[in-house]
Amino acid sequence: MEYMFRRKDQRKVWVHVLDVLLNVVIIVAIVGGIRTFLVSPFQVEGNSMVSTLEDNQYIIINKLAYRIGSPERGDIVVFHPPGDEKKYYVKRVIGLSGDRVTLRGGYVHVQAAGIDSEVRLDEVAYLDERNLGHTYRHPPGSGDFSEVDFHVPEGKYFLLGDNRQGSLDSRSFMSADGEHVPFVDEDAISGRVWFVALPITKIHAFEVPEYGL
């Protein structure tokens, strides 16, 4: 009888262990699925989005947004820069497919696809005093106000950092061969920045700016 009880106890232990392992596998699968298809954490590195995002802040990106839709002008996005699938950058979408983006006099002008006239973007909501009116051509801190045009191809986007004088973005992206590659493929964009998660004192969500385009 004692032997039978011992076998029953051992069986219960193994059932419990297998139950725990099964739950761990399910939890890992659920978390992995959420991170892959829905939302994912991301740590900001550098100051290219100051003062909207700061170095070492943790943000949550919404991946589902671009599985059921496309990036909109004003979205803050996490993406792979042209020619580098290992790095992640975070910038703001400025030009959509078919747009003509013009940097002129320190400001960004956009002629939206299918529209005959251009509009100077109102970026007061997210550019600080140091950067408002100081969007220079490459290199970003050059002080070069001269005009430059970018015609955004189909399926691509023109992105700028909010720290216009200290951001590596569509003005200066280069290929491995040293060729200027100003546009980012839609497939290279991982998701839209949803909100700041840490530090707790900085928690807030982001809304898409209204440009009137």
Annotated active-site positions, please?
Answer: 48, 91
For residue 32, count CB atoms less than 10 angstroms from its CB and return exposed for 0-12, middle for 13-18, buried for 19 or more.
exposed
Number of H helices, E strands in the chain: 1, 12
Query: What's the CA gap between 76 and 46, in Å, rounded?
Result: 15
Query: What's the CA gap between 169 and 158, in Å, rounded?
Result: 9
Q: C-alpha distances in angstroms, 188 versus 45, 89, 172, 183? A: 19, 10, 17, 11
Preceding omega of 41 cis (within 30 degrees of 0): no
Quickly list H helices, the chain.
2-37
Query: Within 10 A of 102 (CB to CB), how many other CB atoms are there?
Result: 19
